[in-house]
Every structure is written in C-alpha cells, then in structure tokens.
Amino acid sequence: MDAPHLGVGTAVMTLIVLRLVWRLVETPPPHPPMPAWQARAAQVTHGLLRGL
C-alpha cells in the first residue's frame, strides 16, 4: 500500500534536487530593458507567485 506513495515521493524529491542543481549551474538570462515601475511590478508578482 505504501509502494506508490514511496515511488511518487522519490520521483518528486529527485526532480526537486535536479532542479536545484540546474539552477545553481545555469545562470538565468538578463532581464530585458523595461521601465522601473514594470520591473518592480514583475518582482512583486514573482514574490506573490512564490508565496502560493
């Protein structure tokens, strides 16, 4: 009964670790030029989405 739960948990944890390693190795591309208010709105929106 616990085998599917263990398998899914292991797969999810593996994907999380791979994503973190990828993020540390690959640098994100620079932001395109935009007005200051738009850059701030993007930062705030990103933070709110991360909070979900």
Which residues, including other chains, have CB under 8 Å from residue 42's CB and lie 6 or more apart?
Answer: 31, 34
Q: What pLDDT does residue 25 have?
A: 95
pLDDT per position as a tens digit, 3-52: 889 999 999 999 999 999 999 999 888 889 999 999 999 999 999 999 88
Q: How far is Cα 9 from Cα 4, in angstroms, rounded to an integer?
A: 8
Which amino acid does the sequence have at 28? P
Q: What pLDDT does residue 31 have?
A: 83
| CB distance 17 to 25 below 8 Å | no
pLDDT surpassing 80 at residue 2: no
Q: Across the chain, what does the average pLDDT equal?
A: 92
Q: Whole-angstrom distance between the N-terminal and C-terminal Cα of the chain?
A: 31
